[in-house]
Amino acid sequence: MKDIDMIVGPRVPQELLKRERKRFLMPTIFLGTAGLLLLISIFLPYWKLTLYAPQYPNGLVMKVYVNRVEGDVKEIDTLNHYIGMRSLTEAASLERTLSIFMVVAIGLLVIAAIYLHSPAAAVFALPAFFYPFIFLGDLYFWMWNFGTNLDPRAPLSNAIEPFVPPLLGEGKVGQFKTIASWEIGLWVVFLASILILVGLYYHRKAYKPLLEEQLKKEILEK
Amino acid sequence: MFKKHVSRWILPLLGLGILALFYTCGKGGKQAGVQVGGEDVNKVIEERGLTPNDVLAAVKTYLPTGKYDEYLLFSSGGHSGQVLVIGVPSMRLLKVIGVFTPEPWQGWGYSTDTWKIFEEGGINGTTLTWGDTHHPALSETNGDYDGEYLFINDKANARVAVIDLRDFETKQIIKNPLTLSDHGGAMVTPNTEWVIEGGQYGMPWTGEYAPLSQYKEKYKGMITFWKFDRKKGRLIKNESFAMELPPYWQDLADPGKLVSDGWVFLNSFNTEMATGGVEEGNPPFEAGVSQRDMDYMHVINLKKAAQLFKQGKTKKIRGFNVLTLETSIKEGILYFIPEPKSPHGVDVSPDGRYIVVSGKLDPHVTIYNFDKIQQAIAEKKFSGKDEFGVPVLDFDAVVETQIEVGLGPLHTQFDPNGFAYTSLFLESAVARWTMGGEWASKHGKEPWSLVDKVSVHYNIGHLVTAEGDNVNPDGKYLVALNKWAIDRYTNVGPLLPQNFQLVDIESGDRPMQLLYDMPIGIGEPHYAQMIKADKIKSWEVYPEIGWNPHTQSKDPDGVQAGQEKVVRRGRTVEIWMSAIRSHYTPERVEVRKGDRVIWHITNIERAKDATHGFALPEYNFNLSIEPGETQTIEFVAKRAGVYPFYCTEFCSALHLEMMGYLLVKP
């Protein structure tokens, strides 16, 4: 078997496909759905931070999407300048530029994995599996980066200690209570990760015997 | 449970001891409420969605018709340039006193005499028609409000006005000749000998130019002590003096009282001497002035300063007596004390022993001990000198304690039970904390500790407790002067009213209770003072017919009934007119085009509330002539024609008929 064939894996004989349709459909459904979910998540908010203070009875909201931040960003920036935090528009600019392309790419990789009937499929699906964790990690990095690099010349610089709001749940900054919540987009990509695991399980179940059979055949031929 | 509470609270509402009659504790059965005029009180409470707390608040604030408020709140009207008079606890607006801004209802600025006051308060030939009133100060005798006068500053132009509380009218607007911006005014010394006006933004003396690059050398800070002549009811310019200070931004001031009488404490910020220039890449003022962790409280020996002034140690600057910084340092009448970051409030405790400072960018109140300050001065416990050579007292040697009260503390007032109240801007709350020293026995709680907080809505600036800044605070009520209302009222467009909130602070044993919201739709009040209403002995009508409110004496041009006349002298026509329900005498006034007209009008009524107006079209006159009052207008009859004048104050059933004609012949 050539290297490329090792990656692509054996094709499924037509009669086997007809006979055991479900076996080969399962990985396609799970991995396909996972890929699709990733693509859909582009349009959904991943993470939300709500700030409550007496002066803001309805709260201030910041919704993070893969490529943008929506909500009361301007007002939050106005407030943040008192404590010397940089404008939120400066955060994760590289990530924001590349994110759509990246998410589409890893989504397509998952879909591509459907056509690879070999362990390489797992490698293709891996970025998508880890994606929500990478997203949260990156989010935390930026919050840490912003919350701990406050301009010491800001008016309120000595009233506010450097801080990192929690990724989930309640925090406190000055007179603000912060509530971080995971939004539909993030749940969707987490679901995709689970679907990928399940999909890979079925994938292995469907294609591993085929691959082993072929390898056995090749050894015998030699 | 709910109904049970409601029943309990409406007891005081109705003053009925017969609640038991209506009170049934049936198991889930309908509860009969108190019936008044065929209405079920419980039902009304329920339908309006009121909680027991709401009902209690209503009971504590509602005043039936004809009943008077216990306190009067004199509030600055902010950039409306006026003073507001509000009843407490009903929070009813009783009057808007015209001060720096013409006010036609009172004829304030629309008669010749009142316009003269505006002209006297002008700058360099410009008559100003607005002001930014910040801090009202009631006159005091022995450190207690005496209800005689009210002073207020205009931050926008560095002016001070005097209001006589016999008739609630402004008598004087005096312009500070040295500067264009003030803040730490008006405050009075315990016997109102001096009215204090502290500067704000550093600048060269008025009219002098110096580039910002010479900020340290040419720009000045200052505090002015206006001498008040109680008999005349005027500030006397040539008996007043100022002290030159470093070009920090002096902020609020509070004179000492009792033990600290004769001293003045004055905050400052921008000891960084930042000069802004965000457009040139410099830190903006808001950041530039907030760099240092400590600014300087100025401690001024006013008693000695006044002696130096008497001894002729002042210099004339802009025609005004000024103690130079050099003299003040040499004579040892000025000391600095480090105070936390960008302080705002400086408030002396009722016994004069403690000075409470709040650094708005520091979550503590810092309490200084006057005795320790005196000791440190005597023992020369200095931590150094500032750039200008003013000795800086050692912080640790003079501080009593610091209490963490919350975010954005601004101003502090007191009650008689040893509690202090500090506004928290960022937290939108009022903090109640305990005083120490001799006060500790009054409240019996842990001294110098935070004990309670109440949320207010929103962004509170000053607060005021009843007589809370004099030697005899009443406490009882607190009014939070909130800068933002946000969602408290029906929206009335993008400019929202300010929000005054009344808080019950009577007992230190129960939490503070928010009682009432009062929208202020006229300007942005800063500070207010609350005085027991019965301390003010204002006139119901002017003492005599023909009274001139400007001089507070009989006007030679006032007339009694029957003395009315019109006299021509060359091209001048002088009219002595009377007004009574419902006619002017004379009703026909004839002049010739080009005549100079001098017109005196006396309200010869003696009945309370029988005020007459006088509106003359085209000439921009509108007078309020209260019973007994004489007012004068002067003008040149420029254009031939017929001018109907009339009474603008609805005085009687035949008010519409109260008119006359000015006939200007060609």
Q: Is B487 on the interface with A (CB under 8 A)?
A: yes
The rounded distance, in Å, linking the Cα atoms of B118 and B352 is 37
Whether residue B211 is contained in a domain is answered as yes
Q: How crowded is the C-beta side of B123, counted as CA atoms within 13 Å?
A: 19
Q: Taking 80 as the threshold, does the pLDDT of residue B663 lie above it?
A: yes
pLDDT for B32 equals 57
Q: Which is higher by pLDDT, B342 or B55?
A: B55
> What phi and psi, each to the nearest 5 degrees, are found at residue B351?
-85, 0
Q: Using CA atoms in the order B133, B134, B140, B143, what is the torsion angle rounded to 10 degrees?
A: 180
Distances (CA, A) of A27 to A104, A114, A117, A125, B627: 20, 7, 10, 12, 98
pLDDT digits (tens, 9 = 90+) for B178-195: 999 999 989 999 999 999
Interface test with B, best of A156, A160, A173 (most B CBs within 10 A): A156
pLDDT confidence tier of residue B9, bands split at 50, 70 and 90? low
Distances (CA, A) of B72 to A73, B145, B165, B529: 44, 12, 12, 8
Residue by residue, DSSP assigns B481-541 as: EES--TTSS---SSSPPEEEEEEE-S-TTS--EEEEEEEE-SS----EEEEEGGG----SS
Nearest neighbour of A54 by CB, restricted to B290, B362, B427: B427
- A chain contacts of residue B408, beta-carbon cutoff 8 Å: 175
pLDDT digits (tens, 9 = 90+) for B354-368: 999 998 888 999 999
| B218 CA: distance to closest CA in chain A (Å) | 26
**Lowest-confidence segment of A208-222, B83-97, B402-416, B504-518 by average pLDDT:** A208-222
Q: Which residues on neighbouring strands pair with residue B221, listed in sequence order?
A: B245
The rounded distance, in Å, linking the Cα atoms of B365 and B339 is 10
pLDDT confidence tier of residue B644, bands split at 50, 70 and 90? very high
Domain positions in chain A are 32-221
| A172 CA: distance to closest CA in chain B (Å) | 13
Mean pLDDT over B271-282 rounds to 94
Q: Say if the Cβ atoms of A153 and B408 lie within 8 Å.
A: no
The type of residue at B436 is G
- B chain contacts of residue A175, beta-carbon cutoff 8 Å: 407-408, 426-428
- Per the CB < 8 A criterion, the answer to whether A114 and A27 are in contact is yes
Q: Say if the Cβ atoms of A154 and B287 lie within 8 Å.
A: yes
Q: Taking 80 as the threshold, does the pLDDT of residue B255 lie above it?
A: yes
Q: Is B454 on the interface with A (CB under 8 A)?
A: no
Q: Which residue of B has its CA nearest to A57?
A: B487
Whether residue B117 is contained in a domain is answered as yes
Whether residue B66 is contained in a domain is answered as no
DSSP letter at B591 equals E
| B72 CA: distance to closest CA in chain A (Å) | 29
B414 and B517 fall within a common domain: yes
Residue by residue, DSSP assigns B555-586 as: -TT---TT--EEEEETTEEEEEEEEETTEEES
- A chain contacts of residue B489, beta-carbon cutoff 8 Å: none
Distances (CA, A) of B644 to B107, B555, B659, B661, B663: 18, 26, 7, 4, 8
- B chain contacts of residue A55, beta-carbon cutoff 8 Å: 428, 458-459, 484, 486
Nearest neighbour of A155 by CB, restricted to B290, B429, B459: B290
Interface test with B, best of A51, A55, A78, A151 (most B CBs within 10 A): A55
- Per the CB < 8 A criterion, the answer to whether A52 and A177 are in contact is yes
- B chain contacts of residue A153, beta-carbon cutoff 8 Å: 283, 287-288, 291
- B chain contacts of residue A83, beta-carbon cutoff 8 Å: none
Q: Residues in chain B, how many?
A: 666
Q: Which of B306, B154, B162 is nearest to B234 (CA)?
A: B162
Q: Which residue of B has its CA nearest to A84?
A: B287
* B17 class by beta-carbon count within 10 Å (0-12 exposed, 13-18 middle, 19+ buried): exposed
pLDDT for B13 equals 46
Whether residue B575 is contained in a domain is answered as yes
User: Domain holding B564: CATH number?
Assistant: 2.60.40.420
Q: Is A78 on the interface with B (CB under 8 A)?
A: no
Q: Say if the Cβ atoms of A175 and B426 lie within 8 Å.
A: yes
Q: Which residue of A has its CA nearest to B487?
A: A57
Q: Which residue of B has its CA nearest to A176?
A: B427
- Tokens 């709001």, residue located: A165
Tally of helices (H runs) and strands (E runs) in chain A = 7, 5
B375 and B473 fall within a common domain: yes
pLDDT for B8 equals 52
B574 and B472 fall within a common domain: no
* B572 class by beta-carbon count within 10 Å (0-12 exposed, 13-18 middle, 19+ buried): middle
**Lowest-confidence segment of A173-177, B10-14, B498-502, B647-651 by average pLDDT:** B10-14
Q: Which domain holds residue B32?
A: 2-61
Q: How crowded is the C-beta side of B272, counted as CA atoms within 13 Å?
A: 20
Exposure string for B436-465, b = 16+ CB within 10 A, e = fewer = bbebeeebebebbebebbbbbbbbbbbbbb
- A chain contacts of residue B484, beta-carbon cutoff 8 Å: 55
Mean pLDDT over B438-465 rounds to 96
Q: Taking 90 as the threshold, does the pLDDT of residue B7 lie above it?
A: no
pLDDT for A1 equals 58
B422 and B317 fall within a common domain: yes
- A chain contacts of residue B459, beta-carbon cutoff 8 Å: 55
Whether residue B153 is contained in a domain is answered as yes
Q: Taking 60 as the threshold, does the pLDDT of residue B19 lie above it?
A: no
DSSP letter at A203 equals H
Q: Say if the Cβ atoms of B407 and A57 lie within 8 Å.
A: no
Q: Which of B95, B56, B91, B57 is nearest to B71 (CA)?
A: B91
Interface test with A, best of B407, B460, B482, B483 (most A CBs within 10 A): B407
pLDDT digits (tens, 9 = 90+) for B28-40: 444 557 899 899 9
Q: Taking 90 as the threshold, does the pLDDT of residue B128 lie above it?
A: yes
pLDDT for B31 equals 53
- Note the Cα B205 to chain centre separation in Å: 26
Q: Is B286 on the interface with A (CB under 8 A)?
A: yes
pLDDT for B508 equals 92
Residue by residue, DSSP assigns B141-154 as: ETTEEEEEEEEEEE
Ramachandran category for residue B570: left, alpha or beta (phi over 0 → left; psi -120 to 50 → alpha): left
Q: Which is higher by pLDDT, A54 or B137?
A: B137
The rounded distance, in Å, linking the Cα atoms of A210 and A12 is 8
Mean pLDDT over B310-328 rounds to 97
Average pLDDT value over all residues in chain B? 94
| A60 CA: distance to closest CA in chain B (Å) | 14
> What phi and psi, each to the nearest 5 degrees, are found at residue B402?
-130, 140
Q: Is A148 on the interface with B (CB under 8 A)?
A: no
Listed in sequence order, the residues at least 6 apart from B567 whose beta carbon sits closer than 8 Å to its beta carbon are: B573, B574
Whether residue B219 is contained in a domain is answered as yes
Interface test with A, best of B272, B278, B291 (most A CBs within 10 A): B291
Q: Which of B185, B201, B75, B80 is nearest to B132 (CA)?
A: B80
pLDDT digits (tens, 9 = 90+) for A162-211: 888 899 999 988 889 999 999 999 999 999 999 999 999 999 998 888 88
Tokens of A169: 């749940």
Distances (CA, A) of B266 to B270, B313, B364, B583: 14, 22, 18, 55
pLDDT confidence tier of residue B5, bands split at 50, 70 and 90? low
pLDDT for A28 equals 93
Q: Is B426 on the interface with A (CB under 8 A)?
A: yes
Q: Say if the Cβ atoms of A57 and B487 lie within 8 Å.
A: yes
Listed in sequence order, the residues at least 6 apart from B545 whose beta carbon sits closer than 8 Å to its beta carbon are: B558, B560, B602, B603, B604, B606, B628
> What is the value of ipTM here, to two decimals?
0.79
The beta-carbon contacts of A142-145 under 8 Å, at least 24 apart in sequence, are: A142/A91, A142/A92, A143/A167, A145/A91
Q: Which of A46-55, B255-264, B277-286 has the highest mean pLDDT?
A: B255-264
Residues 30-69 of A with CB under 8 A from B: 53-55, 57-58
B452 and B510 fall within a common domain: yes
pTM for this model (two decimals): 0.90
- Tokens 């999407």, residue located: A65
- A chain contacts of residue B486, beta-carbon cutoff 8 Å: 55, 57
Q: Residues in chain A, how many?
A: 222
Whether residue B99 is contained in a domain is answered as yes
Q: Say if the Cβ atoms of A54 and B283 lie within 8 Å.
A: no
pLDDT confidence tier of residue B27, bands split at 50, 70 and 90? very low
| A51 CA: distance to closest CA in chain B (Å) | 14
Listed in sequence order, the residues at least 6 apart from B280 whose beta carbon sits closer than 8 Å to its beta carbon are: none
Chains A, B: CB contacts under 8 A, how many? Answer: 47
Residues of chain A with pLDDT under 50: none
* A192 class by beta-carbon count within 10 Å (0-12 exposed, 13-18 middle, 19+ buried): buried
Nearest neighbour of B283 by CB, restricted to A57, A153, A159: A153
End-to-end CA distance of chain B: 83
Q: Which residues on neighbouring strands pair with residue B634, listed in sequence order?
A: B598
The rounded distance, in Å, linking the Cα atoms of B516 and B528 is 17
Q: Say if the Cβ atoms of B407 and A174 lie within 8 Å.
A: yes
Q: Which residue of B has its CA nearest to A79?
A: B426
- A chain contacts of residue B341, beta-carbon cutoff 8 Å: 158-159
Q: How crowded is the C-beta side of B109, counted as CA atoms within 13 Å?
A: 20
Q: Say if the Cβ atoms of B361 and A156 lie within 8 Å.
A: yes
The rounded distance, in Å, linking the Cα atoms of B343 and B366 is 10
- B chain contacts of residue A53, beta-carbon cutoff 8 Å: 428
Q: Say if the Cβ atoms of A53 and B457 lie within 8 Å.
A: no
Q: Say if the Cβ atoms of A54 and B428 lie within 8 Å.
A: yes
Q: Taking 80 as the threshold, does the pLDDT of residue B23 lie above it?
A: no
B25 and B79 fall within a common domain: no
- A chain contacts of residue B427, beta-carbon cutoff 8 Å: 54, 175
Q: Is B450 helix (H, G, I), strand (E, B) or coil?
A: strand
Whether residue B413 is contained in a domain is answered as yes
B465 and B440 fall within a common domain: yes
Q: Taking 50 as the threshold, does the pLDDT of residue B203 lie above it?
A: yes
| B360 CA: distance to closest CA in chain A (Å) | 9
pLDDT for B438 equals 93
User: Domain holding B302: CATH number?
Assistant: 2.130.10.10
| A131 CA: distance to closest CA in chain B (Å) | 39
pLDDT for B1 equals 42
Q: Taking 80 as the threshold, does the pLDDT of residue B6 lie above it?
A: no
Report how many domains make up chain B.
Answer: 3
Q: Is B428 on the interface with A (CB under 8 A)?
A: yes
B504 and B585 fall within a common domain: no
B386 and B313 fall within a common domain: yes
The rounded distance, in Å, linking the Cα atoms of B86 and B76 is 11
Percent of chain B whose pLDDT exceeds 90: 91
Mean pLDDT over B395-418 rounds to 96
| B487 CA: distance to closest CA in chain A (Å) | 8
